[in-house]
Amino acid sequence: MGSGGGALGLSSPLFANGHLSSSSNSTSLPLPVEDGNHLAMVKPSSSIVNLPHYKWRLLIAYDGTRYAGSHYWRVKGKWPYVIGLASPSISGWQFQVSPPTIQCIVEKALIQITKLERECLHFVGASRTDTGVHAWGQVAHFITPFNYDSLETIHAALNGLLPSDIRVREISAATPEFHARFSAKSKVYHYKIYNDTIMDPFQRHYVYHSVYKLNTAAMREAAKMLIGKHDFSAFVNASRNDRVPDPVKTIFRFDVIEMGPLIQLEVEGSGFLYRQVRNMVALLIQIGKEAIPTEIVPKILATLDRRELAKYALSAPPHGLCLVSVKYNQEHLLLPSDCPTTSFGRHHTITKCKLPFY
């Protein structure tokens, strides 16, 4: 790894003075882009140039109260590997400034730090979260045409630019095969319910308040009926894009945990449809209220019709939901050879006490 020449003390073998090297002999390659749940090869425009690239993985936490939802796409190669630099029209990413998305804000910070155009970053998130939904373990990746000697500097710079309700918890190098979304093995969501007569005001932005006394035993029984491989068409809201997602998903576990007045619903699945988690939670809350019996769950599943669920429950509010983690196979988390060490942030130290003793 070299030094100097790039942003924030990084090596930049491909760029001179911020411009593409005129000595590049690369040729254009087709680009894989997302089409529904599949990848389609598209012919790149004349503006695409093949260059070695480095991929980086981010672990992000955020308070979603102020933000709207978002989207993704895919690339492949070797470390450093070759992909096409495409125009924004080729990317499947949605760059939404108003109302702001988490992805938009993080991407703008990356643009400022790396000095790259957004279409060159190919910034991708593992999971779309709806407006108002929080995350502790969102995963994303981006690409640069240069390597870093150390990731601590860019890590500190990112968190210095981001608002206090968004934090990058970790930055690491990623292998060419890693993709934040398509490499995901499972995702874990938690939904929190405060089940007491008076709401704890300190939790009001992150926990749904139910004044009805909930029967958690009935909720557990109903949650077990959602475990396994099912067609969840009855639990998906109409999406705002043209994609037709596969409605068959696998729920690995669905736990109902009591912690005093707090009820935490923990669900892990292979993937989730638009608002699926909030719709499942809404049905469990109605069952917990004893407004409907547990036997309604398989009946609603069998209809494959969202209108059937709407007869009994509306979507649970978003602020109680949090994306806790995205899980990957171990081989997807391996670090490339000759890459900088993972950054978990750094502590500040004081070498000399500047305060007088009394």
Catalytic sites, residue numbers: 130
**Angle at which helices 296-303 and 276-288 pack, to 10 degrees?**
150
Q: Is the dihedral of CA 125, 56, 206, 188 positive or negative?
A: positive
Nearest-angstrom CA–CA distance, 33 and 56: 19
* Among 106, 111, 114, 122, residue whose Cα is nearest residue 151: 114
Token pair 């411009």 is at which residue?
19
Nearest-angstrom CA–CA distance, 73 and 10: 26
3-state helix/strand/coil string of the chain: CCCCECHHHCECCCEECCEECCCCCCCCCCEEEEECCEEEEECCCCCCCEEEEEEEEEEEEECHHHCECCCCCCCCCCCCEEEECCCCCCCCCCCCCCCCEHHHHHHHHHHHHHCCCHHHHCCEECCCCCCCCEEEEEEEEEEECCECCCCHHHHHHHHHHCCCCEEEEEEEEECCCCCCCCCEEEEEEEEEEECCCCCCHHHCCCCEECCCCCCHHHHHHHHHCCCEEEECHHHCCCCCCCCCCCCEEEEEEEEEEEECCEEEEEEEECCCCCCHHHHHHHHHHHHHCCCCCCCHHHHHHHHCCHHHHHCCCCCCCHHHEEEEEEEECHHHHCCCCCCCCCECCCCCCCCCCCCCCC
